[in-house]
Structure 1
């Protein structure tokens, strides 16, 4: 028997996707709709905490929210959506293992998020690492710790300098936060490595514009630059990366920086796999055209049964503060859009009208290492310890569920008394290396013995020898 209950398909389990499903579970009546969420990862990552994970201040697993643990009424599919045929209301689901299939739906919510935006610069795709996933944050932390271990065994020179040099590309909030956090991590490690000095560590920030952090005022931006300079930062403004081959970062100024770690934070773009594989309307920057009420379409025309939110969508900013007239891609908008989307979708299912998304940005807050931060809201700017408290307070409360909040707060509390761990687990990426090194293996098979006389016989006589072996005399001799 075919179910007549409306099917809601959510594409993407990041901020917007998770919060949409979470709120729908609370707002939908029993049997009112069936909700399915599809994402290749079984968890949502709270990305504002990635710089602190990279600096070893928060345990990696504590900044991710398990979909199956927190979405009890939602069907979870760990796979990719590689096609959306909205004309027929089916989506193509492609798992990592097994055959794909087509999933029918009545309402689709596209919240596939964004990925790192890069440029065709030689070496970047092969040697740089982004900061969009928990795996990247952990890899950055372990690389720095491993490099310190290796550098402590080397004499001063180019090889040691390369290991102790970090290059961050991008001077937005993500770039500044990870730059400041890993700089603080490196400084804290020096007490455990008497062979190394502060002057041996080299941290470079590359920004193509003439200023950093466009989300804050020019005055606040300049304060951050001065604060970073006090901690040994080398900031290159109006500078672009032209190459990153062979462990050398080449700049448009002609300077070359040898490094073993390149962190790329120079912008994001809407998830191309989902956008290109759908028949939903797309605007010039590659995002799904979305109305202010979060339905897909334009102010004049609605694509019935399709919704979008978060970084993958181009939602009009009705406050007039958005870049190009649209909401900027950040967590603040994604979470609030998702909450309204759940309400609007529920309203439409009940024959009611949806409401428009209007949210005035509350401001911007960034952590700059332990006990240091910056906060900007309108003309109000806070700096230093007070801003750091505001940063931790805001994001601690914004972390979904009290179960996750307590885990993060516990990490902060333990590190306050015990300091952060300084051990690299980089080898976890190859966990079988010890087992493989000492595991017993079967001996290679011994070569078969070959009769010396037969081996010297000409190849042409081989058929005659076989025929002679089949004669009665030969058989009798063999029997003896």
Structure 2
């Protein structure tokens, strides 16, 4: 049997493995997927996880539960030598080992892209993982609890100030969701007023959400402003040392919660391979998702998809001629890649990936949303319903969909849960505090 190794279990990797299970005949291939995490994260739900609308575990899909015909390895791929068709796998515990393969599929996704701004690496938190989203929720609820016992002053202001860096879809969504969540928290504290909370979004460009039209982005700005959330356009973050925010405009203030959403980059795991990489660190690919070298020559038995790949956008809508790094492309590329692999195994020609964008939809807080498709723009409650409907059904596996819709129904009936669990970041603290120790 042909040995297929999938590096990365995010959108593209998960869907590649899932569809291979469906299309492969018995004995045609043995599929192995390797990822440091035992689950796929549905990243469009991260802002709602951060805002307490979805429970963290309900926004992930377990590999082993839903990839029963695939060998799942929870570890890192630390080196790929495609010349010898071997890969080094390094587990969290134990010694690394080497596996051989016949075909490799690299779908390692992307990580947060940061800049060497003082304080960012020490103070900020990203929004690429379920752990980050859950921690943001816990930090905000904990800060409200702390601030409720303090008199008016700098420390109280710091705890009640939220900063989001980056005005793309992810930044605007988490900014709007956290503003909405904070408004719900205010209602639970008689010592904190709406005016005591401060929300700042920092965007280096002169506009937000480049995926939507300029008039639509202006509507979002007005909507956020009406809710007491300030957006700083044409502004760069100069420093965040010790939580003190210094802006390029000269403005400064302090914050205890800084969320970084200013871009992504291809997973650095590809640097540990001998596969061809373009100038932005992505694997070079042609439209049928096969990896090619700088001259456009196909690298035999090497495929890629998702955020780690520079895939030509045949629809003509991509930035720089390539598919943008989003879930819409990663999911569909994974499905196409699986079909192309099966076609190649059976001696057929692979088909090119060509998907026209279905439009952009975003939630910017409870009951508020925006949808843009070409010149059609829908705003407000209807767009919010469209956002939840689209992503609710786009969530993989029916048992996951049921859990997500269950969250929303329960929240509608009983209001969303405002409880945070900040102690889970230091779970042994309570035990260590009271544990008996041997006498000296």
Name 2:104's counterpart in structure 1. 108
Name 2:116's counterpart in structure 1. 120
Return the alpha-carbon distance in structure 2 between the equivalents of residues 280 and 287 of structure 1. 10
Q: Which residue of 360, 376, 385 corresponds with 2:372?
A: 376
Deviations 1:108-139 (A, max 9, x none): 00000000000001110111000000000000
Name 1:449's counterpart in structure 2. none
**TM-score, with structure 1 as normaliser:** 0.91
Deviations 1:161-191 (A, max 9, x none): 0000000000000000000000000001111
Return the alpha-carbon distance in structure 2 between the equivalents of residues 119 and 442 of structure 1. 47
Q: Which residue of 26, 33, 51 corresponds with 2:29?
A: 33
Return the alpha-carbon distance in structure 1 between the equivalents of residues 49 and 274 of structure 2. 38
Return the alpha-carbon distance in structure 1 between the equivalents of residues 299 and 152 of structure 2. 63
Deviation at 1:330, TM superposition (A): 0.3
Deviation at 1:442, TM superposition (A): 1.7
Q: Which residue of 405, 408, 411 corresponds with 2:401?
A: 405
Higher relative contact order (CA 8 A, sep 6+): 2
Name 1:423's counterpart in structure 2. 419
Name 2:209's counterpart in structure 1. 213
Alignment of structure 1 residues 14-413 onto 2, 5 Å? 14-272=10-268, 274-297=269-292, 300-413=296-409
Structure 2 spans left out of the alignment, 5+ residues = none
Deviation at 1:259, TM superposition (A): 0.3
State the aligned residue count.
439
Return the alpha-carbon distance in structure 1 between the equivalents of residues 434 and 281 of structure 2. 51
Return the alpha-carbon distance in structure 1 between the equivalents of residues 297 and 54 of structure 2. 46
CA RMSD of aligned residues (A): 0.8
Deviations 1:329-356 (A, max 9, x none): 0000000000000000000011110000
SS in structure 2 of the partner of residue 25 of structure 1 = helix
Return the alpha-carbon distance in structure 2 between the equivalents of residues 247 and 280 of structure 1. 40
Return the alpha-carbon distance in structure 2 between the equivalents of residues 375 and 226 of structure 1. 16
Deviations 1:308-365 (A, max 9, x none): 0000000000111110000000000000000000000000011110000100000000
Return the alpha-carbon distance in structure 1 between the equivalents of residues 82 and 430 of structure 2. 51
SS in structure 1 of the partner of residue 187 of structure 2 = helix
Return the alpha-carbon distance in structure 1 between the equivalents of residues 87 and 253 of structure 2. 46
SS in structure 2 of the partner of residue 57 of structure 1 = coil
Deviation at 1:300, TM superposition (A): 3.8
SS in structure 2 of the partner of residue 96 of structure 1 = coil
Return the alpha-carbon distance in structure 2 between the equivalents of residues 333 and 120 of structure 1. 30
Deviations 1:215-236 (A, max 9, x none): 0000000000000000001110
Return the alpha-carbon distance in structure 2 between the equivalents of residues 428 and 319 of structure 1. 45
Return the alpha-carbon distance in structure 2 between the equivalents of residues 439 and 320 of structure 1. 63
Return the alpha-carbon distance in structure 2 between the equivalents of residues 321 and 438 of structure 1. 60
Return the alpha-carbon distance in structure 2 between the equivalents of residues 159 and 13 of structure 1. 42
SS in structure 2 of the partner of residue 147 of structure 1 = helix
Larger Rg: 1
Return the alpha-carbon distance in structure 1 between the equivalents of residues 296 and 172 of structure 2. 40
SS in structure 2 of the partner of residue 209 of structure 1 = coil
Q: Does residue 441 of structure 1 match 2:407? A: no
Return the alpha-carbon distance in structure 2 between the equivalents of residues 206 and 344 of structure 1. 42
Structure 1 spans left out of the alignment, 5+ residues = 445-480
Return the alpha-carbon distance in structure 2 between the equivalents of residues 289 and 431 of structure 1. 43
